[in-house]
Structure 1
């Protein structure tokens, strides 16, 4: 029965994603032809509504087949007409579905920073492009040593994308660890955290440098699937997801996150210390959540 549910849910999610992606792409084509910024902003709102529909249908589909107990705390004062930077730990593809389901009616629809390779995924990649989501091309340290002209490309990409976000309320999502957590990665990165990878300060610093003055708050989200630790995405498609824990903390945009990260070394150290403290608090929270 579980594998039948896996097949059915996967097909339904694919159909939902395809239909909503095509709708968003159609809106994007219309947006290119519109003459004024006001009309373009209206088209962006319509694309966000199509993404809201995608998130709502996914949440309903998966709720029907999963006996999920939602355990959500925090973030009661958030609003739809605001600008937010959302940071979160990253465990699985499930995280995107969960974040959209939890926040779709509380804040503007999230804009995710995506790997460049996802641009070429049929339908979904084009839809994410149409939603103005930034596609990041990550360069290794060795590559940058051979091609120093590529330094700063991510910052330029972030700034170009964030310019589009200034015209309508937006939530920018940054998975600070840069990749999904698993024990192998935890060991290879020599993480000092029990349930997290070390935070990468560059990505969030790029976003704050581009539009930090416009963010009203930073939303710090902690996600956990205590009864489905190993393969939460597979389990949710198979109807096995038991409990989803979401903890929301709203942080101010203050002197800790306002400065020149790239040229001011004392501020850079201060920022890294601030982010390390946020991550330490998150790790302590996850220890409590995962307690037997």
Structure 2
């Protein structure tokens, strides 16, 4: 009973501090974003972009401080790259929990350009955070069911256009584009429904990555392949701040993106689509083996 009370107090404290931190940072974010919208001059937009990135980095710094001081979770990481704050990076990661996101932000904040995630359109309504993501040009994607697309075929191309618009903005600023290739968080139930041939991963979906590679062309040249595992089991943010996630292991592989995969036409070129899919499938097979090693290794 006492341990549950302590865990509840920890979660309440963390939630309160996270909310306060978000409010403190989202107000200046919105003000700068409004200036950027009104004064549409390249010089002004460039200054606003730098200020927005600085505010976002500060917000992540505070969240990372809470991660370090409000939990006993140990992050064991291998392959973390040297700081590279210019350029355009593609970050591919497996997805098991919402905890994946603060882990990625903690590891790469001020080390790579700001991570941008493709978000479900409903998340724009998350109090404060939705406005912050909008101000930082995070792309919001609306997913359609197969039945909706069959009734209205034109819906099939809307996510592609949203990807292209987002990537057009990204080309003029340093960015790290994050794609959770499985498209959803891993659970054993989803793994069984898919009959996934991989032991620790869902089947990869190459489409999102293919469209980003097409839209950003030659400006996107470096892959940051991140593998996250939870040896004692994954949990969500409540479990993290309740101190129920003792260890997280992360492996980072930084490699060039093959030239033949950049700037193609994933939607209309079957041969190019097959090349991208084969590349993603091999990455995911390698990642599955890497997860097995990370889970079996002693630290």
Q: How many residues align?
A: 291
Distance 1:212 1:244, change over 3 A: farther
Q: Which has the higher mean CA deviation after the structures are superposed, 206-215 or 71-80? A: 71-80
CA contact (8 A) 1:119 1:126 kept: yes
Instruction: Tell me which residue corresponds to 1:192.
Output: 197
**SS at the partner of 1:7?**
helix
Alignment of structure 1 residues 127-206 onto 2, 5 Å: 127-206=132-211
CA contact (8 A) 2:96 2:234 kept: no
* Structure 1 stretches lacking a partner, 5+ long: none
Alignment of structure 1 residues 55-94 onto 2, 5 Å: 55-77=60-82, 79-94=84-99
* Structure 2 stretches lacking a partner, 5+ long: 1-5
What do the CA deviations read for 1:151-173 (whole angstroms, capped 9, x no partner)?
Answer: 21111111111111111111111
Q: CA deviation at 1:7?
A: 1.1
Q: Does 1:5 align with 2:10?
A: yes
Alignment RMSD (CA, Å): 1.5
Q: Does 1:16 align with 2:17?
A: no
Instruction: Tell me which residue corresponds to 2:253.
Output: 249
Q: CA deviation at 1:76?
A: 2.3
CA contact (8 A) 2:10 2:242 kept: yes
TM-score, normalized by length of structure 1? 0.95
Instruction: Tell me which residue corresponds to 2:3.
Output: none
Deviating beyond 4 angstroms after TM superposition, the runs of 4 or more aligned structure 1 residues are none
Distance 2:218 2:32 in 1: 29
Q: Does 1:99 align with 2:90?
A: no
CA contact (8 A) 1:185 1:197 kept: yes
TM-score, normalized by length of structure 2? 0.93
Q: Given the alignment, which residue of 30, 39, 42 partners 2:44? A: 39
Distance 2:110 2:154 in 1: 42
